[in-house]
Amino acid sequence: MEAPVFIEAKSLVKNYKRIQAVKDLSFTVFKGDIFGFLGPNGAGKSTTIRMILSLIRQDEGDINIFGLPLRKNRNRILTGIGALVEEPRLYEYMSAYGNLEMLGRLSGKSISRNRIMEVLSLTGLDERWNSPVKSFSHGMKQRLGIAQAIIHDPELLILDEPANGLDPKGMKDMREIIVRLNREFGKTIFISSHILKDIELMANRMLIIDHGAKVVEGNVQELLNAAESDLKITVSEPDRAVAVLKDKLGLTDLIIDHEGNIVLKANREHVPEINKLLVDNGLKIFSLTPVNSLEKYFLDKT
């Protein structure tokens, strides 16, 4: 049975004067998804996210969230959403606790002291709960941004570039928090990022947009598997292996790299056939790796 639809965007259009920022964009996010939202800078990601959060109005199209039209049910819908839009902007003169207490009170739910401390602990800020936000590093502010998004225990999290500006450790921490929120706490997560590795590691479904329009939407692994990718083969006698592949399979687009590996383009379903052919010809295969990164897929699509 298909999971309930959490976000349904239909034919969204947004114009800024003469610039069409979003063009006829439709997509669906299901309950339980970590939905990766990808696109180059200026593709319309932030505009789309702001429309979902009703920070800006779409010129055309409809958004339904939790099965309700956003325009008529804004407050009801926002009760179930936690959001981090671009870099976290918080009240710098207040403490982390003060920010969460204030924003929690606005969420329409009763937020206890224990809940605030629990969220601060989850985001690793419990030791600095009483420090003013202006004394925080960028990474800490980013984590507090996540904390304010989850303080009211929303079902859906909308995170716009949450790992932006973080160092590698900060990015890893952020990734772990997001995956934990999805797996342990059952949050549905809509996440935009230009860090493709993050999406590849976290998301189960994704949408790529470019120039405001949809390029592709679907299951991350299915999309990557269906795409023609590089296949790297470490084999004994690479020259003979190349000759076999050219002769028997008619492959032409293949090279031997500087480490002696054969690199060729192939769909994932052809991998067993290639493997069998090389083994049948008496070649020893040490490794056979499809190199189908999201980065390559993304660059191919945009």
Partner 1 sequence: MVNLIFIELKKVFGRKRSYIGFLVIFILVSILQAAMWVEGQTFIDLFTQNLQDTFVLEGNLMNGYFISFMLMNSLWVLLPFLVTFVAGDSIAGEAHAGTLRLMLTRPVSRTSLITAKYIASVTYTFLVVLLLMILSLGISSLIFGTGDLIVFSKTLNIFPEKEVLPKFLGAFGFAFLGMTLVTTLAFFFSVLTNNSIGPIVGTMAIVLSFTIITNLNLQVFHVIRKLLFTSYINSWTLFFDYTIDWRQIYLSLLVSVMHIAALFAATLWIFKRKDILS
Residues near partner 1 (CB under 8 A) are 50, 53-57, 74-79, 81, 83, 85-87, 89-94, 102-103, 105-108, 148
Nearer Cβ to partner 1 (76/276)? 76
Tell me how far, at minimum, the Cβ of 25 lies from partner 1, in Å.
17
- Location of structure tokens 């030791």: 127
> What are the E-state strand segments in 32-115?
34-38, 60-65, 68-69, 81-84
- Location of structure tokens 């996010």: 29
Dist. CA 293–CA 198, nearest whole Å: 11
Tell me how far, at minimum, the Cβ of 91 lies from partner 1, in Å.
6
Tell me how far, at minimum, the Cβ of 152 lies from partner 1, in Å.
8
Tell me how far, at minimum, the Cβ of 275 lies from partner 1, in Å.
51
Nearer Cβ to partner 1 (97/297)? 97
Tell me how far, at minimum, the Cβ of 44 lies from partner 1, in Å.
13
Going by C-beta distance under 8 Å and a sequence separation of 6 or more, which residues neighbour residue 93? 132, 133, 134
Tell me how far, at minimum, the Cβ of 51 lies from partner 1, in Å.
10
Nearer Cβ to partner 1 (142/148)? 148
Nearer Cβ to partner 1 (85/266)? 85
DSSP string computed for the chain: -PPPEEEEEEEEEEEETTEEEEEEEEEEEETT-EEEEE--TTSSHHHHHHHHTTSS--SEEEEEETTEETTT-HHHHHHTEEEE-SS----TTSBHHHHHHHHHHTTTS---HHHHHHHHHHTT-GGGTTSBGGGS-HHHHHHHHHHHHHTT--SEEEEESTTTT--HHHHHHHHHHHHHHHHTT--EEEEE-S-HHHHHHH-SEEEEEETTEEEEEEEHHHHHHHS-EEEEEEESSHHHHHHHHHHHH---SEEE-TTS-EEEEE-GGGHHHHHHHHHHTTPPEEEEEEE--HHHHHHHH-
Tell me how far, at minimum, the Cβ of 78 lies from partner 1, in Å.
4
Nearer Cβ to partner 1 (102/201)? 102
Nearer Cβ to partner 1 (74/232)? 74
**210 C-beta neighbours (distance < 10 Å), count:** 17
Nearer Cβ to partner 1 (192/229)? 192
Tell me how far, at minimum, the Cβ of 246 lies from partner 1, in Å.
56
Nearer Cβ to partner 1 (119/241)? 119
Token duo for residue 46: 């932030």
